[in-house]
Amino acid sequence: MRLLYYNDIGQIRLRDFRDSPPPYAILSHIWGQEEVTFQDVTNNTGTHKAGYEKIRFCGQQARRDGLQFFWVDSCCIDKTNNTELTRAINSMFAWYRQAARCYVYLSDVPTRALAKSNGTVWEEAFMASRWFTRGWTLQELLAPEIVEFYTKEGIYLGTKASLEREIHRVTRISVRALRGYQLSALGVKERMEWANGRNTTEQEDWAYSLLGIFGVSMPLIYGEGRDNSIRRLKEEINKRYNGEAVSSNRIYEGNRTFDQARAINGDVGGIVQGDGRSQVEYRSNEASGTSFQY
C-alpha cells in the first residue's frame, strides 16, 4: 500500500508500506476531468490540475487531525499496471475500513449553498450531491468507522453519524448498516438494492465496486462488458453465501437516479463555528415523521 505525505519542503510524496501501514486518512470523492495520477506525483508534476485541490485538502485536513499519512485513489495506485490495479480494487474495502478517518470531498456542494440568505436549505444541496449516485462511493461510505463530509471549499458539514438521517433518506441504506453492522450478516438482496441507481464510468466497475460489499474477490477484465462482470460477481456471491438468491432481473439499474426530491422534508440548518472547524448545525425537524429502517 502506498501512502502520501508532505516532505520537509512541503511537497507531496509517496511511500510504500509492505506490511502494516501507519494510521492514515483516506479521501472519498467524485472523479473529474483532471485528476492527479501516480505518474504526476512520482514526477512532481500535476499541481496545476484541478484534481490537485482535493489532494491538498486531504493532506492538510489529515495534518489537522494529527495524521502524517493519507491516501487518494487517483494517485496512490499505478493504474497502468493491471496486476497492481486488480490487487488494489480487491483490497479497496479493507483500505477504507482500516483508515483512521475518511474525508468525503463534495465538489458539487459549494459553501454558498449553505447560506440561508439565498433561500437554499443546506440539506437539499447535501442530499443532491452526485456523490450519492456513484458506484464506488457506496463502499467508501460503509467501510470506514469515521466518515466526515466537506464542501468544495473544505467546510465541515458533519459525520456519517451526525448526518445519519439525511444519508438514510437519500440512500435507503438501513441505519444499522450505516452504524457499522457486519455486512455479511445482512441479506444479499438488501445489499444489492443499495447499489441500484448508482453509476460508474466504466461498465464493469459497477460489479467491481461491490466486491468488498459482499466480501468476495475476482480478477478484473476491463472490456468484458457489464453483463459478464455482473455474471461473474453473481457466481462469486453464490459461492460465498451458499447460493443465496441474487435477483437476475433487477441486479443492475445503473441508469436509474435517486428520487432525491422525495427525500427532502424541509429540515433547516445554519452555519456555526465549533471545534476549530466551520460546520453545519444540525437541527432536526421533529414534524417530518421520517421513519428509519433498522
255 touches 199 (CB < 8 A): yes
H/E element, 194: helix 188-195
pLDDT at residue 246, as a whole number = 58
Domains in the chain: boundaries: 81-283
pLDDT at residue 222, as a whole number = 96
Report the alpha-carbon distance of residue 144 to residue 129 in Å, rounded. 20
Please give the full DSSP string across 37-81, using - where no structure is assigned: PHHHHHTT--TTSTTHHHHHHHHHHHHHTT-SEEE-HHHHS-TT-
Burial degree of 118 (CB within 10 A; 0-12, 13-18, 19+): exposed
Strand partners, 281: 270
pLDDT at residue 78, as a whole number = 97
Kindly give the confidence (pLDDT) of every residue in the chain, 294 residues in length, as a single tens digit, with 9 standing for 90 and above.
999 999 999 899 999 998 899 999 999 999 998 999 999 999 999 999 999 999 999 999 999 999 999 999 999 999 999 999 999 999 999 999 999 999 999 999 988 767 654 545 778 899 999 999 999 999 999 999 999 999 999 999 999 999 999 999 999 999 999 999 999 999 999 999 999 999 999 999 999 999 999 999 999 999 999 999 999 999 999 999 886 655 444 444 443 333 333 333 333 233 232 333 434 333 333 333 333 343
pLDDT at residue 120, as a whole number = 53
